[in-house]
Structure 1
């Protein structure tokens, strides 16, 4: 089926139950490099990405400028920590919904995460989510969510050989995901209830608790997609 539209999936707590493991591995990796005074008020950061938060804490603790060349060493440590935890599980219904979009709709899929890449791939693999690695964009060389989502969209255009998608729906569990979608002028579907009050305060149009409660016709109606 020709893919004329696109779904952009966040990963942590959108497709995989992994936010706590991710944050623990992330903090452990920072501490292993002497970054010990860590601001863990994640919502206080301008950009909610691993690379940007690492940069701010790296520079505050080590008193030198951050470089993206540090990412591979850090990513290796974080990945080692991730692998010590129990296997990541899917958010209810996530596997089925990814397969649904790929097999039964004209929506292509891609993945845009503020995580670093290798931990993100591990989560998807462990949760048995069907994915193509080249369609996963992470924060290894990008600081902002907008850059990450745009890059994921461009990867999807290349992979599915589409010049422009008619409709793009971004899906995420965080208020930063909603704000990114607004900044990029694309549709947004919120998932999970932990940020529901924040979502409602910013006028979210469509929201589900998990993928078991997903009805695509309802979502398209709420987002005013034909």
Structure 2
């Protein structure tokens, strides 16, 4: 659903020769998808103002589909973190408006102050580091004793490895691939409820 929205949003901006093999992109982010496809179509530098148009159009395209569904246990996990005053933040390759729409569709609590997106960083390492800095400011911490990156894709694992972060894999679909690429089996869970139960 989301990748179809990305493709349609690119087309709405006049980009028609689109590389839809999104999983093999250098960066798995909305902002990179726009710049990469724009520049390969027009052989011109990407104009920054198009990012806002792309972001707005993405939300419009998403409205054509059913709302996204919460990953089992997400709401419960966040509520537990908040109740126990455990610091957390959000890092996503999406742009802010689509990311917030998905959080709202799942009825998940968030604060824009701890939402890091590809609006400011094309690379996953960039916005994950941004998320950490945002969390330090939001929770008024100089540093964290441990930082755990939670994700469902191999690119999430590689980002955590590149930044020397602990990693937790979520979901059955990519579990085997995650373990093959270095994730610890005991740190891979079918959903966020199982992850929560391992913690508390």
TM-score range, shorter chain: over 0.9
Bigger strand fraction: 1
The structure showing larger relative contact order (alpha-carbon pairs under 8 Å, at least 6 residues apart) is 1
Please point out which of 46, 65, 86 is paired with 1:107: 86
Deviations along 1:89-128, one digit per CA (max 9) or x if unpaired, are 2011110011111112x52010000001100000001100
Q: TM-score of the superposition, structure 2-length normalised? A: 0.94
What is the alpha-carbon distance in structure 1 between the residues aligned to residue 177 and residue 37 of structure 2?
26
Partner of 1:16: none
In the alignment, is the contact (CA less than 8 A) between 2:76 and 2:193 conserved in 1? no
Deviations along 1:47-100, one digit per CA (max 9) or x if unpaired, are 111111211111111221113321001111111111222222201111001111
Query: Could you list the runs of 5+ residues in structure 2 that have no partner in the other structure?
Result: none
What is the alpha-carbon distance in structure 2 between the residues aligned to residue 67 and residue 216 of structure 1?
46
* CA pair 217-77 structure 1, distance change in 2 beyond 3 A: closer
SS in 2 for 1:29: helix
In the alignment, is the contact (CA less than 8 A) between 1:25 and 1:82 conserved in 2? yes
Partner of 1:174: 153
Partner of 2:164: 185
What is the alpha-carbon distance in structure 2 between the residues aligned to residue 144 and residue 47 of structure 1?
6
What is the alpha-carbon distance in structure 2 between the residues aligned to residue 67 and residue 147 of structure 1?
21
What is the alpha-carbon distance in structure 2 between the residues aligned to residue 179 and residue 158 of structure 1?
26
SS in 2 for 1:188: strand
Measured on the aligned residues, the alpha-carbon RMSD in Å equals: 1.4
SS in 2 for 1:68: coil
Partner of 1:124: 103
* CA pair 97-217 structure 1, distance change in 2 beyond 3 A: closer
Question: Aligned ranges for residues 44-193 of structure 1 at < 5 Å?
Answer: 44-104=24-84, 106-193=85-172
Question: Aligned ranges for residues 19-34 of structure 1 at < 5 Å?
Answer: 21-34=1-14
What is the alpha-carbon distance in structure 2 between the residues aligned to residue 60 and residue 117 of structure 1?
25
Query: Could you list the runs of 5+ residues in structure 1 that have no partner in the other structure?
Result: 1-20, 219-226
Partner of 1:198: 177
Task: Using the TM superposition, give the Cα deviation of residue 39 of structure 1 relative to its aligned residue in structure 2, in angstroms.
Answer: 1.2
What is the alpha-carbon distance in structure 2 between the residues aligned to residue 96 and residue 23 of structure 1?
27
Runs of 4+ displaced beyond 6 Å: none
What is the alpha-carbon distance in structure 1 between the residues aligned to residue 163 and residue 5 of structure 2?
30
In the alignment, is the contact (CA less than 8 A) between 1:135 and 1:156 conserved in 2? yes
Equivalences, count: 197
SS in 2 for 1:170: strand
